[in-house]
C-alpha cells in the first residue's frame, strides 16, 4: 500500500508532472509506419496528455505538432497536407514539420505574427515498422536499437492493440508480477479454451510455480527488472527470465517470437500499446525485410456488446485485469504480499528516476553513446519457444 500522493506521483503523465517529465526523457512509438502513408498522411495522436497531429508531407518528411491551430484553435487534422507542411482547414495557416509557421494568408505579411504562431514540434524517427517520438528537452538522446528491432536473423510483424482504458502503470506492474500467469493465463485458457491452439500456453503456464525471484538490472544501454520462476510438475524448469524494461516496456518470449511491448500513456487513464514481434530463423540465417514490408495487424478491444470480456486470449485476459482495477488504480487500498516484491522494486525505481530528472540528470536507460547502441542485446528464457516446437513436431 502507498499513499494517494505517492500514487499520483507515479501515475500522472501530463506536462509538468514529475512522472510525465520522467517519461518524456524516452523515445516512444506513436504509430505504425504503414498507418501513415501517401493515401492516409495524417493521424491524431494523444500521448502523455498532449493532443498532437502526426503527418507525412509530400516529400516524405514526418511532423508531430500540436493538433490545434494557434489562430482560432481549429484541428489541423482536418487540414491539407502539402509538399512542405500541413495547412489549417479554417483560414489556411500552414505549418512545417518543424512546427514553423510558413504562411498566413490574409495577414499582409505580418512577420511578427508569423513568428508568434510557430508551434512546438517533436522529432520523429522510423525503426522496425514503427514511428517513434521524443518529447523531452534537447538534445534528444539516441533512439535505442533494441535487438528485437534491429536483428537481421529473422522477420518482424507489428501488433497495434486497442486503447486500454487504464493508466499505463497497471500494465507495467503486471510485467513484474511472476505469479499472475498461472491463473490469469494458464488456468483461464484451460477453463475457457481447451483447444490445440492454446495447448502450448496451457502446458507452459499451468504448471506449479515453486519459487520466483527478481533482479534489478542497470546496464549501460538499458535498465529494468528481470523476473524468473521455478516451475514444478511434469515439466520442471528454472527460467532464465526476461526483462521488464524501464520505464514502460517488456520483452517476453511469446511462443516462437520475442515480443517487445511498448505501453505508451495517452493520458492518465488511457494507454496505447504496440508490439514488435520478432521471429528468429531456426538456423540463424539472415533475412532481408524492409520496414515497409512489415505486416501490421490491429487487435480489437475484447469487450463485446454485452459488456463481457473475451477471455480466451492473453490480450483479453490482461485487459480485463488492468481495466477492472479502475482507470487509475488506487494503490492506497491494496493489500500486497511477498509475490508483489517486483512491483515495489519498480515503484522505487520510478521514484529514484523522478528525483534524478528533477536534479537535472538523465534517468537510467537513456542512451547517448553510439558505441553502445549498435545492437542492445538481452538474455531470455527459451522454454516457451522450445515447448512450442516440441508440441508442433508431435502433432
Q: List the chain pLDDT tens, one digit each, 395 residues.
A: 799 999 999 999 999 999 999 999 999 999 999 999 888 999 999 999 999 999 999 899 999 999 999 999 999 999 999 999 999 999 999 999 999 999 999 999 899 999 999 999 999 999 999 999 999 999 999 999 999 999 999 999 999 999 999 999 999 999 999 999 999 999 999 988 656 667 888 888 999 999 999 999 999 999 999 999 999 998 899 988 889 999 999 999 888 899 999 999 999 999 999 999 999 999 999 999 999 999 999 999 999 999 999 999 999 999 999 999 999 999 999 999 999 999 999 999 999 999 999 999 999 999 999 999 999 999 887 766 666 655 565 66
pLDDT of residue 199: 80
**Could you tell me the three cell numbers for 390?**
516440441
Measured CA to CA, the distance from residue 136 to residue 298 in angstroms comes to 28
Residue 32's nearest CA partner among 43, 23, 22, 24 is 43
Tell me the backbone φ, ψ of residue 354, rounded to 5 degrees.
-60, -45
Write down the architecture of domain 41-123 according to CATH. Answer: 3-layer Sandwich (2.102)
pLDDT of residue 198: 74
**Could you tell me the three cell numbers for 218?**
542497470
User: Is cis: bond before 139, omega within 30 of 0?
Assistant: yes
Q: How far is CA 354 from CA 80, 267, 328, 345, 346, in A?
A: 40, 18, 19, 14, 12
pLDDT of residue 74: 98
Q: How far is CA 137 from CA 15, 31, 120, 123, 127, in A?
A: 12, 21, 12, 11, 21
pLDDT of residue 144: 98
Where in the sequence of the chain do the CATH 2.102.10.10 domains occur?
41-123
Q: How far is CA 312 from CA 111, 123, 198, 357, in A?
A: 60, 39, 9, 41
| Order of strands, sheet of 50-56, starting from the edge strand that comes earlier in the sequence | 42-47, 50-56, 62-66
Residue 149's nearest CA partner among 385, 373, 380 is 373
pLDDT of residue 380: 82
Tell me the backbone φ, ψ of residue 235, rounded to 5 degrees.
-125, 70
Measured CA to CA, the distance from residue 263 to residue 94 in angstroms comes to 33
Spatial CB neighbours of 316, under 8 Å, sequence gap ≥ 6: 302, 309, 310
The interaxial angle of helices 4-11 and 341-358, nearest 10 deg, is 70
pLDDT of residue 387: 61
Measured CA to CA, the distance from residue 69 to residue 76 in angstroms comes to 6
pLDDT of residue 171: 98
Where in the sequence of the chain do the CATH 3.90.380 domains occur?
147-394
The DSSP letter of residue 331 is G
pLDDT of residue 375: 97
pLDDT of residue 395: 60
Other beta carbons within 10 Å of 210: 12
Measured CA to CA, the distance from residue 357 to residue 361 in angstroms comes to 5
Domain topology for 147-394 = Naphthalene 1,2-dioxygenase Alpha Subunit; Chain A, domain 1 (3.90.380)
pLDDT of residue 359: 98
Q: pLDDT, tens digit, for every residue of 54-93?
A: 999 989 999 999 999 999 999 999 999 999 999 999 999 9
363, with CB counted inside 10 A (0-12, 13-18, 19+), is buried
Measured CA to CA, the distance from residue 148 to residue 153 in angstroms comes to 10
Amino acid at each position: 500500500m502507498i499513499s494517494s500522493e505517492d500514487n499520483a506521483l507515479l501515475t500522472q503523465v501530463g506536462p509538468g508532472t514529475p512522472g510525465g517529465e520522467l517519461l518524456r526523457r524516452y523515445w516512444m512509438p506513436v504509430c505504425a509506419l504503414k498507418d501513415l502513408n501517401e493515401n492516409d498522411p495524417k493521424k491524431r495522436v494523444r500521448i502523455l496528455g498532449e493532443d498532437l497531429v502526426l503527418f507525412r508531407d509530400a516529400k516524405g518528411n514526418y511532423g508531430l505538432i500540436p493538433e490545434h491551430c494557434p489562430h482560432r484553435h481549429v484541428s489541423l487534422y482536418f487540414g491539407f497536407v502539402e509538399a512542405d507542411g500541413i495547412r489549417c482547414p479554417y483560414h489556411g495557416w500552414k505549418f512545417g514539420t518543424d512546427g514553423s509557421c510558413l504562411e498566413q494568408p490574409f495577414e499582409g505579411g505580418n512577420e511578427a505574427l508569423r513568428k508568434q504562431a510557430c508551434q512546438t514540434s517533436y522529432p520523429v524517427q522510423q525503426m522496425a515498422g514503427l514511428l517513434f517520438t521524443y518529447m523531452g528537452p534537447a538534445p534528444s538522446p539516441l533512439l535505442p536499437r533494441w535487438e528485437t528491432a534491429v536483428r537481421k536473423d529473422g522477420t518482424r510483424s507489428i501488433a497495434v492493440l486497442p486503447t486500454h482504458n487504464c493508466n499505463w502503470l497497471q500494465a507495467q506492474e503486471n510485467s513484474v508480477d511472476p505469479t499472475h500467469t498461472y491463473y490469469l493465463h494458464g488456468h483461464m485458457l484451460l477453463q475457457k479454451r481447451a483447444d490445440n491452439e492454446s495447448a502450448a500456453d496451457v502446458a507452459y503456464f499451468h504448471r506449479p510455480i515453486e519459487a520466483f525471484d527478481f533482479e534489478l538490472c542497470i546496464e549501460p544501454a538499458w535498465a529494468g527488472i528481470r523476473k524468473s520462476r521455478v516451475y514444478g510438475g511434469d515439466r520442471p524448469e528454472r527460467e532464465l527470465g526476461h526483462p521488464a524494461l524501464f520505464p514502460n516496456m517488456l520483452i517476453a518470449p511469446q511462443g516462437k517470437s520475442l515480443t517487445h511491448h511498448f505501453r505508451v500513456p495517452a493520458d492518465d487513464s488511457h494507454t496505447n500499446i504496440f508490439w514488435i514481434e520478432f521471429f528468429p530463423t531456426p538456423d540463424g540465417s539472415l533475412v532481408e525485410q524492409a520496414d515497409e514490408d512489415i505486416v501490421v495487424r490491429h487487435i480489437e478491444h475484447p469487450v463485446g456488446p454485452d459488456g463481457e470480456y473475451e477471455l480466451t486470449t492473453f490480450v483479453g485476459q490482461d485487459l480485463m485485469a488492468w481495466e477492472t482495477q479502475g482507470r487509475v488504480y488506487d494503490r492506497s487500498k491494496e493489500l500486497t504480499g511477498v509475490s508483489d516484491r517486483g512491483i515495489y522494486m519498480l515503484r522505487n525505481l520510478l521514484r529514484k528516476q523522478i528525483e534524478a530528472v528533477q536534479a537535472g540528470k538523465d534517468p537510467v536507460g537513456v542512451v547517448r553513446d553510439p558505441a553502445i547502441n549498435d545492437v542492445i542485446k538481452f538474455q531470455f528464457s527459451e522454454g516457451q519457444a522450445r515447448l512450442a516446437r516440441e508440441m508442433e513436431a508431435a502433432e
